[in-house]
Every structure is written in structure tokens, then in C-alpha cells.
Amino acid sequence: MPEGDTVWQAAQRLHGALAGRTLTRSDFRVPRYATSDLTGRAVLDVTPRGKHLLTRIEGGLTLHSHLRMDGAWKVFAAGQRWSGGPAHQIRVILGTADRTAVGYRLPVLELLRTADEQRAVGHLGPDLLGPDWDPEQALANLREDPARSLGEALLDQRNLAGIGNVYKCELCFLLGVTPWLPVGELPADRAAALPGLAKRLLEANRDRPVRRTTGLRGHDLFVYGRAPRPCLRCGTSVRLADQGDGSRERPTYWCPVCQAGPAPRPGGYTAAGRRRKRT
């Protein structure tokens, strides 16, 4: 699942391939834009905004895309074999004289006026990798609903933009609290540390192909994907349960010893009393 760092890397790749160059190929494979033609226009820049990508095109246009679960932008040199998936999964092709950018499986793809970008991304909170980053505002947003679980609040891009499920789990481990802890019960020192820690994690990983949060040789992540193996810090078996609002459950990993706070019990209930799925 793409997180802010993955989207940042995609934006860098696209920007390097397209920015400052004129489009010689424009091929939309979605009905809504089947007749749109961007050839002859220059690409101005490609900017990540949280987990959204904004490709600005000469003439006041922005191509807005979002990768969601498995979308991808690939860049190919002339003559190179395309490798992003079968042709029917291609949603858009943008080409210059020597590079072709191909958008695969993009669940969100819309052509907007650049002046209307806020309609697409205006709901986002401060962007962890963006020029608008504002740690105080991010923390204030997170605390707006003190009863909400920390894990869900971290994933809500309206609070702060860029955290996906992997960083949600790793951040909660680093903060020493479970993802089910109500935001309002986060100790003050850890709440104060949270925005800076989240930013450091994303920044440290934005140029890496593999996400790392541990600094330990041979181990990239503390808890995510590690159940039921032993916790790297205390040796207790890492736990796994779903977290979500019922419509969107996310596999969530934690160490019951290193992380304080409520968590789903084998009986199917959290300490907070909400019905949970069995793990």
C-alpha cells in the first residue's frame, strides 16, 4: 500500500522524466477523458501532496491521480519493454520525445484546472513531506477527537497527510502505545514527539526502495508484518488484529508488552468494549 514516501518517489520519477518537456503523446484510457489531448503542452512539474500526485501542465491544467492500494506510475525509455501490468490496466499514457510515463490501475484520475486543485487536495491536513508541514497544526488536528483511536486518527489524511498503515503501526510502537489508545490519553511527552517522529520516518525513507524504521541490521520494521515472531525489543510474540471502522479494516501489528493501552482480546472485544474480529 503506497504511503507518503512511495508517492514522493513516484513524483520524483515523473518530475524527472516529464518536467520541462513537451508532451508528444497523450492517451487517456478512461471514458471521461477519452477525447482529451495534452500533446503540444509542456509539463511544468509533478508534486506530491500527501498520497496524491499533481502533474501540472501548461495552459493551467493539473492531472490529479491517487495510487490507493495498488496503482502505479511507471516511466519507460524509448524502446524499453513496459512492465507495470497488462495493457487493460493502463489508465493514461503521457510521453515526451524520450520518456513515456504510464499510469496503471489508477483509481483516481482527473483533469482539473490548476486553479481548482484545492477541490482535490484541500481536505488534506499538513503534509509530512510538503512545504506546508506544520507540526502544531497536525497535532491539534489529531487531538480534535480525543476519543478516537490513535491508529485511526493517524490514517485520517485530514489530520496529517502521508501516513499509511505500515507507518501507523511502526509509529505506535515507537511511541510505546497501542494503536487502540484514544488520542486524548496519549501522554503529553509522546504527543509532543509524535509529529517530529512521523516526519523523520517518512523523510528517512523517501529515497529508499525498502522502508526501514529500526536502524537494526537485518530488520527493517519493528512490528509491521512480524506477527507472530518475537518483538525485536522484548521477545514477546508480536500480535495482529484488524483495526478500522468496519468498512475499512487494516491489519494492525503491535507488541503487547512494549506498547501500553487497549487492544483486541482473543474473545473478540477491545478493552474499550468495541466488537472486534477474531485474530
Query: How far is 13 from 7, CA to CA, in rounded Å?
Result: 10
Smallest separation, CB 220 to Zn ion (Å): 17
Catalytic, out of 250, 262, 264, 276: 250
Residue nearer to Zn ion on the CB measure, 78 or 257: 257
Q: Helix/strand/coil (H, E, C) string of 81-129?
A: CCCCCCHHHEEEEEECCCEEEEEECCCEEEEEEHHHHHHHHCCCCCECC
Smallest separation, CB 94 to Zn ion (Å): 47
Smallest separation, CB 230 to Zn ion (Å): 8
Query: How far is 63 from 108, CA to CA, in rounded Å?
Result: 10
Residue nearer to Zn ion on the CB measure, 65 or 259: 259
Residue nearer to Zn ion on the CB measure, 1 or 234: 234
Query: How far is 250 from 256, CA to CA, in rounded Å?
Result: 18
Residue nearer to Zn ion on the CB measure, 135 or 256: 256
Backbone angles phi, psi at 271, to 5 degrees: -60, -25
Is 195 assigned a catalytic role? no
Provide CB contacts within 8 A for 166, sequence distance 6+: 1, 3, 211, 221, 224
Is 2 assigned a catalytic role? yes
User: Which residues form the interface with Zn ion (CB under 5 A)?
Assistant: 231, 233-234, 236, 255, 257-258
Of the candidates 51, 23, 50, 49, the one whose C-alpha atom is nearest the C-alpha of residue 37 is: 23
Smallest separation, CB 223 to Zn ion (Å): 8
Residue nearer to Zn ion on the CB measure, 39 or 236: 236
User: Is the CB of residue 248 less than 8 Å from the CB of residue 279?
Assistant: no
Catalytic, out of 48, 49, 51, 56: 51
Exposed, middle or buried, 182 (CB in 10 Å: 0-12/13-18/19+)? middle
Smallest separation, CB 234 to Zn ion (Å): 3
Smallest separation, CB 256 to Zn ion (Å): 8
Residue nearer to Zn ion on the CB measure, 150 or 223: 223
Query: How far is 245 from 247, CA to CA, in rounded Å?
Result: 6
Is 206 assigned a catalytic role? no
Q: Which residue is nearest to Zn ion (CB)?
A: 231
Is 264 assigned a catalytic role? no
Query: How far is 11 from 31, CA to CA, in rounded Å?
Result: 25
Residues annotated as catalytic are: 2-3, 51, 250
